[in-house]
């Protein structure tokens, strides 16, 4: 389990040091090999020895971990990409060392300009490219712990304990025990799970439920650690501490989901086993056939041709096939506001058939906004909104801010409120322009003896549409109803239509009530809806759908979505959401717009197709080059593929792979769908 004190991955630190210290050496060797003959002041022999001196630390120090993995793969009889890399680098480097130290061992026909061709640049470049690929992979892997660290950082570091003698002191969170009385002041986080024993307040539980509207708490109500106390002061009794808290359980869920996710099985690995065996068999057969049956000097020809086979089969192009496509695709995606955390997400996204979406911040804007004012008993709508907003100017509640903003957007002049009083859990009261006003829920109206029976159906209809309905009383008479809601994003409806047309089943899972959830689902035409779902429930829903054989993506923006984002085949976070959600997800939509999923799926399909093409290029070169390097054309045409030509063919295969991957940068992606439905959405928000 990661902790806040974890240092950088030691393997990542080690590989970074090896890569950056030897990269300049690799570049110098490459320049000498490619352009050294243009410098007459530098003799061929001197250039060769300089290349050897510079290549030694690159191959033997920077590349040492790959040789260890190569030996381990052979010892465990599980050949893989590192087997190819180790053997290819060893062949190119070993051959070049012998050619430098003892060139007379080779026949005169293999000498050019007084020396035998060397391939230090091939060995060094392969090591540096492989190190770069490992660095990218390790950095992506290290980010999986970022979600857990962000979750751990949510909990306050201290708690204010009330001692038996009435004194108070701040103590470290780990010193809190079950039964302790703790004071939570306005603006502070609740330290642990427990029950309210004194006071009233509103608690922002969006980190747990995703619902942006604070929940009223009074004596006897339960509170959850790491949630934010907004307005009032509370005294709570600790009920669960340490690993038993809800936050700790969420951390455990995220960690478990991340550990259970199978590592990506790249397409190249599926054939690596047989490819390695085939290359080794070809090189071995080449060596013995030439040594036993070839012309003199037979064993010299045997060594050179076997080395040619190993060099031309060196997996430079094969190793580039997938990473190059991924690199270009991630850059292309970033231009359209889609960030992929790793290659696994790109490969998997195209196979998704079920998309689970959160409501708040994903389908909706994530913040309450004024919807409408309904005038009653002879009052007019503008008057109802103007008086309600004037009264609410003194309130810090998000619903009040939405009403005030709505009135100002409509150009209404707000008046000063006097004798303002906020009644926690009920609403607000005060005097505006000599009128006694009260704005709040039905409980506040009953307290003022105001009859609501006739207006009950109106309020209930608003709630079924996902709005919060508040009653306004003026001088003891019911004047109207003010509705506030979390509006649906403008692009949500058209995007849902497009995703469903692409064959995805859209499921909404939200911490909001069933009525609100079903109102939003009905407006958007979703296939399935689950309301009042806790973080554990979302993760369980993901696991349930996966057990049914469905390939599941989860889109959300809150801390409460983190376990489900980590458990899904592909987690998609809204960039407008929390850092925890983005750390848990494999894909982040920077603009918080679901339309990015359409582009991401198209790019996923294009990228996988591009990777297949790259693998085809790589294997085609090997299929043609290995037999020629082995000498199959020699009996008929007298042609041999020298190691130098083999290295050139290896380079050409890499160039073709890179060029093909770059085509992804020009991939045509769909224009985002425009909203085809009425802009007057049924918003979703908490109920009265």
Q: Is 338 helix (H, G, I), strand (E, B) or coil?
A: strand
Contact status, residue 305 vs residue 631, Cβ threshold 8 Å: yes
119 is written with which tokens? Answer: 């391939």
Contact status, residue 344 vs residue 576, Cβ threshold 8 Å: no
Give the residue among 580, 544, 545, 588 at the shortest CA–CA distance from 563. Answer: 580
| Distance from C-alpha of 253 to C-alpha of 490, rounded to nearest angstrom | 33
- CA distances to 315, 318, 323, 494, 669 from 268, rounded to whole Å, are 10, 7, 11, 38, 27
- Active-site option among 193, 204, 358, 557: 358
- Angle ∠(172,253,190) on CA atoms, nearest 5: 35
Tell me whether residue 449 is one of the annotated catalytic residues: no
| Distance from C-alpha of 633 to C-alpha of 635, rounded to nearest angstrom | 6
Give the residue among 564, 603, 670, 54 at the shortest CA–CA distance from 332. Answer: 603
Give the alpha-carbon dihedral of 78, 82, 83, 88, to 10 degrees: 170
Cα 669 to chain centroid, rounded? 21
- CA distances to 50, 97, 476 from 103, rounded to whole Å, are 16, 9, 107
CB atoms within 10 A of CB 46: 11
Q: Which residues contact 235 (CB under 8 A, 6 or more apart)?
A: 162, 181, 182, 183, 184, 196, 197, 198, 199
70 is written with which tokens? Answer: 């190569």
623 is written with which tokens? Answer: 């299929």
348 is written with which tokens? Answer: 């998997």
Q: Which residues contact 621 (CB under 8 A, 6 or more apart)?
A: 312, 317, 649, 650, 652, 653, 656
Please provide the DSSP assignment of 215-230 as one string.
EEE-TT-EE-TT-EE-
| Distance from C-alpha of 440 to C-alpha of 450, rounded to nearest angstrom | 12
| Distance from C-alpha of 261 to C-alpha of 264, rounded to nearest angstrom | 9
Task: For strands 468-474 and 435-440, give the pairing.
Answer: antiparallel
564-573 b/e (C-beta count within 10 Å ≥ 16 → b): bbbbbbbbbb
Continuous H helices in 36-119: 44-56, 64-75, 81-101
Helices 298-312, 643-662: crossing angle, 10 deg rounding: 10
Q: Could you tell me how many residues make up the chain?
A: 688
Give the residue among 157, 169, 160, 194 at the shortest CA–CA distance from 179. Answer: 194
Active site residues: 358
């Amino acid at each position: 389990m990661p902790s806040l004190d974890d240092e950088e991955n030691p393997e990542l630190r080690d590989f970074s040091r090896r890569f950056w210290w030897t990269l300049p050496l690799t570049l110098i060797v490459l320049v000498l090999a490619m352009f050294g003959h243009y410098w007459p002041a530098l003799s061929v022999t001197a250039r060769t020895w300089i290349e050897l001196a510079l290549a030694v630390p690159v191959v033997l120090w920077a590349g040492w971990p790959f040789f260890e993995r190569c030996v381990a793969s052979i010892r465990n009889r599980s050949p893989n990409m590192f087997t190819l890399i180790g053997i290819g680098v060893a062949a190119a480097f070993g051959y070049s060392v012998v050619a430098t130290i003892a060139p007379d061992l080779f026949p005169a026909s293999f000498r050019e300009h007084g020396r035998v061709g060397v391939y230090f640049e091939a060995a060094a470049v392969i090591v540096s490219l492989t190190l770069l690929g490992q660095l990218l992979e390790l950095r992506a892997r290290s980010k999986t712990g970022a979600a857990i660290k962000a979750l751990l950082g949510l909990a306050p570091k201290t708690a204010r304990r009330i001692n038996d003698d009435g004194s108070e002191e701040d103590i470290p969170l780990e010193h809190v025990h079950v039964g302790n009385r703790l004071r939570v002041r306005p603006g502070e986080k609740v330290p642990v799970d427990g029950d309210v024993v004194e006071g009233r307040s509103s608690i922002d539980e969006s980190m747990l439920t995703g619902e942006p509207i604070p929940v009223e708490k009074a004596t006897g109500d339960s509170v959850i650690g790491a949630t934010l106390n907004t307005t009032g002061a509370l005294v709570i009794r600790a009920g669960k501490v340490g690993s038993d808290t809800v936050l700790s359980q969420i951390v455990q869920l995220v960690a478990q989901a991340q550990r259970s996710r199978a590592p990506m099985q790249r397409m190249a690995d599926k054939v690596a086993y047989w490819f390695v065996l085939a290359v080794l068999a070809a090189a071995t057969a080449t060596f013995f056939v030439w040594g036993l049956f070839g012309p003199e000097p037979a064993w010299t020809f045997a060594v050179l041709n076997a080395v040619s086979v190993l060099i031309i089969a060196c997996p430079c192009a094969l190793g580039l096939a997938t990473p190059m496509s991924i690199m270009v695709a991630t850059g292309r995606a970033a231009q359209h506001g889609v960030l992929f955390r790793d290659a696994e997400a790109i490969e998997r996204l195209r196979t998704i058939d079920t998309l689970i979406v959160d409501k708040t911040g994903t389908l909706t804007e994530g913040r309450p906004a004024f919807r409408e004012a309904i005038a009653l008993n002879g009052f007019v709508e503008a008057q109802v909104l103007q008086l309600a907003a004037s009264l609410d100017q003194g309130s810090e509640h998000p619903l009040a801010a939405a009403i005030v903003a709505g009135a100002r957007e409509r150009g209404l002049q707000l008046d000063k409120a006097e004798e303002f009083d906020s009644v926690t859990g009920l609403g607000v009261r005060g005097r505006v322009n000599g009128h006694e006003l009260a704005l709040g829920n039905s409980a506040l109206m009953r307290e003022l003896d105001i009859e609501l029976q006739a207006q009950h159906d109106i309020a209930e209809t608003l709630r079924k549409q996902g709005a919060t309905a508040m009653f306004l009383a003026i001088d003891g008479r019911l004047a109207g109803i003010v509705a506030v809601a979390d509006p649906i994003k403008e692009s949500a409806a058209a995007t849902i239509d497009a995703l469903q047309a692409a064959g995805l089943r859209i499921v909404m899972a939200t911490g909001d009530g069933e009525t609100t959830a079903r109102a939003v689902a009905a407006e958007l035409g979703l296939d399935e809806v689950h309301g009042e779902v806790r973080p554990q429930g979302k993760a369980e829903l993901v696991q349930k759908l996966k057990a049914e054989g469905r390939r599941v993506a989860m889109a959300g923006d809150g801390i409460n979505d983190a376990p489900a984002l980590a458990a899904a085949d592909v987690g998609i976070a809204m960039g407008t959401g929390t850092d925890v959600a983005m750390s848990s997800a494999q894909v982040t939509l920077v603009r918080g717009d679901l339309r990015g999923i359409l582009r991401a799926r198209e790019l996923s399909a294009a990228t996988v197709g591009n990777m297949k093409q790259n693998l085809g290029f790589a294997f085609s070169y090997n299929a043609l080059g290995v037999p020629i390097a082995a000498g199959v054309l020699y009996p008929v045409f007298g042609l041999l593929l020298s190691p130098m030509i083999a290295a050139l063919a290896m380079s050409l295969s890499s160039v073709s792979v890179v060029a093909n991957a770059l085509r992804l940068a020009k991939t045509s992606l769909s224009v985002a769908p425009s909203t085809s439905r009425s802009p007057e959405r049924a918003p979703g928000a908490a109920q009265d």
